[in-house]
Amino acid sequence: MADLCGMRAKIGTDVHEAAVLLRAGEVVAIPTETVYGLAANAFDEAAVLKVFAAKRRPSFDPLIVHIGERARVNDVVSELPPGAKELMDAFWPGPLTLVLPKRPEVPDLVTSGLDTVGVRMPAHPMALELLRIIGFPLAAPSANPFGYVSPTTAQHVADLLGDRIPYILDGGACNVGVESTIIGWEADRWVLFRPGGVAVEEIERVVGGVGAALKKILPAAPGMLESHYAPRKPLHVGDIEPLMLRFPDQRIGVISFTSRFLAHRCEVLSPQGDFGEAARHLFAALRSLDTSDCEVILAEPFPEEGLGRAINDRLRRASAR
């Protein structure tokens, strides 16, 4: 990584400045509709190593490759299984990642040695403009230290990685707020690797039933580590009122869907009960409580439907120890 000692990342809106840095083999934080990503040229192993270094990320967790045009999928994918074109038609650009057979040009560092690659086309105008300017795909996990809460604004990135990267492209607050849904073609069927910004029910309307992924020793796709998205303070998921009785002498922070609880602090994600609004506010709420004077964080589980599955997945991983 470039010597950034004593420097702070510049925050700006100049897509061309970001392009210059990426062409030079640097890493840049970029906005997407899901969360901010820490991007590098997907074909440049030295640049991708800077992503791992900045995030302090284990090398066995694969990275998602981002493209700016549908035709670019052929740059990284060797073949499209049945239904892939229909999924791209329905959800790209958007928060759906497809795990597909990779071309040999994609470095093993990006895929953790797997013969598949996760690829998506983000639905953010600034990210798409950048991808079209540079002409190569970007490997871009979330722009946060490994295992910590994902950033949904440029300032979040600056707070987390501002002393490790040269530039943060500011595209405003992310309008989805949770990572992409990841599905892949396994044993002649589509399977779910990670719930996310596209509900499984919507996907099934396009390709039929989506199964459960087979168990693997290493993650088959990004976001599959059990302990992930974790705040530094203890997080417990369950019925709030019984949980509060377990911590009578501690300052409690609560994350709830619609209800306000009598705790030291309470973050209500959507008073109107809107899953999309709750997803957009989830990581910001986790970060807010984690940096507050609360000593323990409690979160209630969401209904297991639509984006509620993705929110529960994040909470479960964040609470894993």
Residues 129 and 270 in one domain: no
Residues 6+ apart with CB under 8 A from 304: 312
Residues 208 and 262 in one domain: no
Two tokens at 242?
């019984």
Find the CATH number of the domain harbouring 15: 3.90.870.10
Residues 207 and 239 in one domain: no
Domain count, the chain: 2
Residue 265 placed within a domain: yes
- Which candidate, 98, 62, 53, places its Cα nearest to that of 77? 98
What is the per-residue pLDDT for 313?
Answer: 83
Residues 187 and 46 in one domain: yes
Residue 218 placed within a domain: no
Residue 79 placed within a domain: yes
Span 267-271, average pLDDT? 96
What is the per-residue pLDDT for 230?
Answer: 74
What number of other Cβ atoms are within 10 A of residue 32's Cβ?
30
Residue 1 placed within a domain: no
Residue 31 CA to residue 124 CA, distance in Å, equals 7
Residue 266 has pLDDT above 70, yes or no: yes
Q: Do 146 and 3 meet the contact criterion of CB atoms below 8 Å apart?
A: no
Residues 38 and 73 in one domain: yes
Give the range of the structural domain holding residue 289, as residue numbers without chain letter: 235-319
For 99-143, how does the pLDDT look when each residue is reduced to its tens digit (9 = 90+)?
Answer: 999 999 999 889 888 899 999 999 999 999 999 999 999 999 999
Return the beta strands (E) in the chain as ranges: 10-12, 28-30, 37-41, 64-66, 96-101, 116-120, 138-139, 167-169, 181-186, 189-194, 211-212, 235-237, 252-256, 265-268, 296-299
Residues 239 and 138 in one domain: no
Q: pTM above the 0.75 mark?
A: yes
Residue 3 has pLDDT above 60, yes or no: no
Residues 191 and 241 in one domain: no
User: Please, which pLDDT band fits residue 74 given cuts at 50, 70 and 90?
Assistant: very high
Residue 226 has pLDDT above 70, yes or no: no
Residues 161 and 195 in one domain: yes
What is the per-residue pLDDT for 320?
Answer: 79
Q: Which of 179, 212, 245 is the last residue of a domain?
A: 212
Specify burial of residue 62 (Cβ count, 10 A radius: 0-12, 13-18, 19+).
buried
What is the per-residue pLDDT for 215?
Answer: 55
Residues 90 and 185 in one domain: yes
Residues 197 and 294 in one domain: no
CA distances from 3 to 26, 39, 54, 164, 250 (A): 11, 18, 12, 9, 42
User: Please, which pLDDT band fits residue 321 given cuts at 50, 70 and 90?
Assistant: low
Residues 6+ apart with CB under 8 A from 82: 185
Task: Quickly tell me which residue has 């925050």 as its tokens.
Answer: 11
Residue 5 placed within a domain: no
Bridge partner residues of 117 (DSSP): 100
Residue 66 placed within a domain: yes
What is the per-residue pLDDT for 146?
Answer: 78
Residues 40 and 171 in one domain: yes
Residue 238 CA to residue 270 CA, distance in Å, equals 18
Find the CATH number of the domain harbouring 291: 3.40.50.11030
Residues 255 and 289 in one domain: yes
For 172-204, how does the pLDDT look when each residue is reduced to its tens digit (9 = 90+)?
Answer: 999 999 999 999 999 899 999 999 999 999 999
Average pLDDT of every residue of the chain: 91
What is the per-residue pLDDT for 228?
Answer: 57
